[in-house]
C-alpha cells in the first residue's frame, strides 16, 4: 500500500479527502503510482503529467523522505520507506508565484 498526498486543488478534483492509499502492481515507481492514481481517480489524468508525453507538468513536484524525486527517472524504484508505507509520496504544486 502506497500512501500519496495530493495538493488541495487535486484532492478537490479527485473528490478525495486526506491522504490516499493505493495498491500498486509490480515495482513501486513514480510511473506505477501515477498509473494507479489515475486509474482510481480518472479526473486526475492530465493534471500531474501530460496526457500524451506522460511528462511531469513543469510546476508539479514529487517529494518523499525529504528528497526531491522530480528529476529522477519515472521508472526509478521509490524509497523503501514509501514502499513499506512508512512515508508518503508527496505530489506538490511548486511554489511558483503567479497572480
Partner 1 sequence: MSNVRVLVGTRKGAFVMTSDAKRQQWDISGPHFGGWEIYHVKGSPADPNRLYASQSSGWFGQMIQRSNDGGKTWEPVDNKFVYEGEPGTHQWYDGTPHPWAFKRVWHLEPSLTDPETVYAGVEDAALFRTSDGGKSWQELPGLRQHGTGSGWQPGAGGMCLHTIILDPSDPKRIFIAISAAGAFRTDDGGVTWRAINRGLRSQYIPDPDAEVGHCVHHISMHPRRPGVLFMQKHWDVMRSDNAGDNWREVSGNLPTDFGFALDVHAHEPETIYVVPIKSDSEHYPPDGKLRVYRSRTGGDEWEALTNGLPQRDCYVNVLRDAMAVDSLDSCGVYFGTTGGQVYASADGGDNWAPIARDLPAVLSVEVQTLS
Q: Is 98 in the site for partner 1 (CB under 8 A)?
A: yes
Determine the Cα–Cα distance for residues 83 and 1; give it in Å rounded to an integer. Answer: 7
d(CA 66, CA 78): 13
17 touches partner 1 (CB under 8 A): no
Q: Which of 51, 55, 66, 71 binds partner 1 (CB under 8 A)?
A: 51
Closest by alpha carbon to 79, among 95, 54, 62? 62
The H or E element that residue 60 is part of is: strand 60-64
Q: Give least dist CB 35 to partner 1, A.
A: 16
CA distance 95 to 4: 19
Stretch that binds partner 1, among 8-16, 19-27, 29-37, 78-86 (CB under 8 A): 8-16
- Name the site residues for partner 1 (rule: CB under 8 A): 7, 9-10, 13, 43, 45-48, 50-52, 57, 59-60, 93-94, 96, 98-99
Amino acid at each position: 500500500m502506497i500512501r500519496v498526498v495530493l495538493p488541495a486543488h487535486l484532492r478537490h478534483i479527485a473528490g478525495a479527502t486526506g491522504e490516499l492509499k493505493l495498491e500498486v502492481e509490480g515495482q513501486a515507481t513514480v510511473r506505477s503510482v501515477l498509473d494507479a492514481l489515475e486509474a482510481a481517480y480518472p479526473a486526475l489524468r492530465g493534471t500531474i503529467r501530460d496526457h500524451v508525453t506522460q511528462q511531469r507538468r513543469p510546476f508539479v513536484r514529487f517529494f518523499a523522505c525529504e528528497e526531491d524525486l522530480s528529476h529522477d527517472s519515472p521508472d526509478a524504484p521509490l524509497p523503501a520507506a514509501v514502499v513499506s508505507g512508512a512515508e508518503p509520496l508527496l505530489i506538490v504544486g511548486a511554489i511558483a508565484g503567479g497572480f
